[in-house]
């Protein structure tokens, strides 16, 4: 009898917990792309078949989260948290979707619950510090940032100091963040602003230049939980991101395959076609590159990057007239396209049209002051025109950041100095 009574109590508790849990969201499967629809349907079926399983509800939430269905993901995570209250990932994911929905107060509350279950997870501590900063709770935010040692945390601590008017301390933190991750664009920009605030404009300038080089570069994520969500994204954007990562690693063939998978998921993904123009061009397959150029133009004839990539392809094939037309078309759509100005300038230079080449190099620099290659090409023309002071000024702009290209730029500067008569610098 006692066993039966215990079983009855457990059953009642389970039923009570289930009754308190939010319902699964109502989903219109037809609204999803075919590749996504299949994954959502399987997860939804599993969650319905196992109504007391928080993991099943959470898995559905993760798939929806991965495909930016934040409202539906929220309902799943809330259900998962009730059914499986000891697992910190559910409130952690819930905090993430609340942030996407702009509900920062709810995001902060959910993150507190996640940290109560697992205070050792550093990405959660970092995110909590960010949420506290956004809530204006600067002292609490700074305290959490200082307990972490990553570049992001050090940058965050600098933001707290800057918000409190502690410029010297902010500079120290931003410098440390840049040292921990030298290509951290946001940290370089924040450091440059702080230095300029102290009147140290000359020291700020290299950091503004570094920011221009690495605007979108951030330290690699160590968030294993959100990585699990991102892995579930089978839509086109996920394959585009994968392709970009592979391209950065020099794996061009694999990058092209990832972009083809993006087109399988969404045949109208114009960015995939645009990227494939460049990838196939570099792989020595110009016919395929041209095929994707035509497809991209058919989908959207107003993308400057499409014509730019095609111009680079044509130039590599020594088809100079089509290349010039493509670069000009890109600039007609986007007159501020620095790379298009620079490449058109180089094409004109190779054809002996130095006057127009100088104009385009100048426009490239005007739109992107830290564009080293444009400074270099313009400097070469100017030194050949015996305008040594101007050429030296441009070559000097190529010396930062320090990388594999710097010795070549330094040599060009030395030659210009010698030809100007300044052998001491050469």
SS3 track for 301-313: CCCHHHHHHHHHH
| Same-domain status, 21 and 70 | yes
Residue 118 tokens read as 């697992």
420 backbone dihedrals φ, ψ, rounded to 5°: -80, -10
Contact by Cβ (8 Å): 161, 142: yes
- Please tell me the predicted confidence (pLDDT) of residue 295: 93
CATH number at residue 76: 1.25.40.10
Domain end marker among 276, 299, 322:
299
| Same-domain status, 172 and 264 | no
| Same-domain status, 88 and 45 | yes
Contact by Cβ (8 Å): 132, 163: no
| Same-domain status, 47 and 155 | no
What distances in angstroms separate CA 102 from CA 97, 107, 131, 134, one per listed residue? 9, 9, 12, 11
The series of mean pLDDT values per 10 residues for the chain, 426 residues long, is: 48 54 91 87 96 97 94 97 98 97 94 98 98 95 97 98 97 98 94 96 95 82 91 86 91 96 87 97 97 93 96 97 98 95 97 96 93 96 95 93 88 93 68
| Same-domain status, 141 and 156 | no
Domain assignment present for 109:
yes
* Structural domain count, the chain: 3
Give the whole-angstrom CA distance, residue 158 versus residue 135.
17
| Same-domain status, 162 and 139 | no
Number of H helices and E strands in the chain, helices first, is: 24, 0
- Please tell me the predicted confidence (pLDDT) of residue 7: 46
Residue range of the domain that includes 28: 13-145
Peptide bond into 401 cis (omega under 30): yes
Three state DSSP letters for 133-200: HHCCCHHHHHHHHHCCCCHHHHHHHHHHHHHCCCHHHHHHHHHHHHHHCCCCHHHHHHHHHHHHHCCC
| Same-domain status, 133 and 165 | no
Domain assignment present for 182:
yes
- Please tell me the predicted confidence (pLDDT) of residue 423: 66
Domain assignment present for 418:
no
Contact by Cβ (8 Å): 25, 71: yes
Domain assignment present for 383:
no
Residue 128 tokens read as 């909590």
pLDDT digits (tens, 9 = 90+) for 170-206: 999 999 999 999 989 999 999 999 999 999 999 999 9
| Same-domain status, 98 and 192 | no
Domain assignment present for 340:
no
Give the whole-angstrom CA distance, residue 314 versus residue 370.
26
Q: How many CB atoms lie within 10 A of CB 49?
A: 9
Query: What is the greatest pairwise CA distance in the chain?
Result: 105
Give the whole-angstrom CA distance, residue 114 versus residue 99.
15
Domain assignment present for 136:
yes
Q: Residue 28: enclosing H or E segment and its boundaries?
A: none
| Same-domain status, 35 and 156 | no
Contacts of 128 (CB under 8 A, 6+ apart): 108, 111, 112, 115, 144
Find where tokens 């990057």 sit: 305
pTM: 0.61
Give the whole-angstrom CA distance, residue 421 versus residue 426.
9
| Same-domain status, 76 and 192 | no
Find where tokens 């709810």 sit: 106
Domain assignment present for 110:
yes
Domain assignment present for 86:
yes
Give the whole-angstrom CA distance, residue 70 versus residue 99.
10
Q: How open is the CA angle 393-397-398, to the nearest 5 degrees? A: 125
| Same-domain status, 46 and 60 | yes
Contact by Cβ (8 Å): 206, 228: no
Q: Residue 219: enclosing H or E segment and its boundaries?
A: none
Contact by Cβ (8 Å): 97, 75: no
Q: How many CB atoms lie within 10 A of CB 394?
A: 26
| Same-domain status, 133 and 164 | no
Give the whole-angstrom CA distance, residue 226 versus residue 216.
19
Domain end marker among 168, 190, 218:
218
Domain end marker among 145, 169, 200:
145
Give the whole-angstrom CA distance, residue 375 versus residue 377.
6
């Amino acid at each position: 009898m006692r066993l039966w009574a215990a079983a009855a109590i457990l059953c009642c508790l389970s039923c009570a917990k289930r009754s308190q849990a939010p319902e699964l969201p109502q989903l219109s499967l037809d609204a999803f792309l075919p590749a996504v629809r299949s994954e959502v349907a399987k997860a939804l079926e599993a969650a319905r078949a196992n109504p007391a399983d928080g993991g099943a509800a959470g898995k559905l939430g993760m798939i929806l989260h991965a495909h930016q269905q934040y409202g539906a993901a929220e309902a799943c995570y809330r259900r998962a948290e009730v059914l499986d209250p000891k697992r910190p990932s559910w409130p952690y994911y819930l905090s993430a979707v609340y942030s996407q929905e702009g509900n920062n107060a709810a995001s902060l509350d959910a993150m507190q619950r996640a940290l109560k279950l697992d205070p050792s997870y550093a990405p959660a501590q970092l995110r909590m510090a960010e949420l506290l900063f956004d809530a204006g709770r600067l002292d609490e935010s700074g305290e959490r940032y200082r307990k972490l040692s990553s570049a992001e945390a050090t940058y965050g601590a600098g933001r707290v100091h800057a918000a409190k008017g502690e410029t010297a301390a902010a500079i120290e933190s931003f410098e440390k963040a840049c040292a921990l991750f030298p290509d951290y664009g946001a940290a370089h920009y924040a450091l440059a602003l702080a230095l300029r605030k102290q009147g140290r404009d000359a020291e700020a300038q290299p950091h503004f230049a570094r920011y221009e080089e690495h605007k979108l570069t951030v330290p690699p994520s160590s968030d294993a939980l959100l990585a699990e969500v991102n892995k579930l994204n089978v839509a086109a954007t996920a394959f585009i991101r994968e392709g970009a990562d592979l391209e950065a690693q020099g794996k061009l063939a694999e990058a092209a395959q990832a972009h083809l998978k993006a087109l399988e998921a969404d045949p109208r993904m114009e960015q995939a076609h645009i990227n494939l123009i460049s990838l196939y061009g570099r792989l020595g397959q110009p016919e395929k590159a041209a095929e994707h150029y035509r497809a991209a133009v058919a989908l959207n004839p107003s993308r400057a990057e499409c014509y730019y990539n095609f111009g680079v392809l044509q130039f590599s094939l020594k088809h100079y007239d089509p290349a010039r037309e493509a670069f000009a078309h890109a600039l007609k759509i986007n007159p501020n396209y620095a790379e298009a100005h620079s490449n058109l300038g180089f094409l004109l230079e190779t054809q002996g049209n130095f006057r127009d080449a100088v104009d385009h190099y100048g426009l490239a620099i005007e739109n992107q002051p830290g564009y080293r290659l444009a400074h270099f090409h313009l400097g070469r023309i100017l030194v050949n025109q015996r305008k040594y002071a101007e050429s030296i000024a441009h070559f000097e702009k190529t010396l930062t950041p320090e990388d594999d290209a710097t010795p070549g730029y330094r040599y060009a500067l030395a030659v210009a100095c010698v030809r100007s008569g300044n052998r001491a610098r050469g």
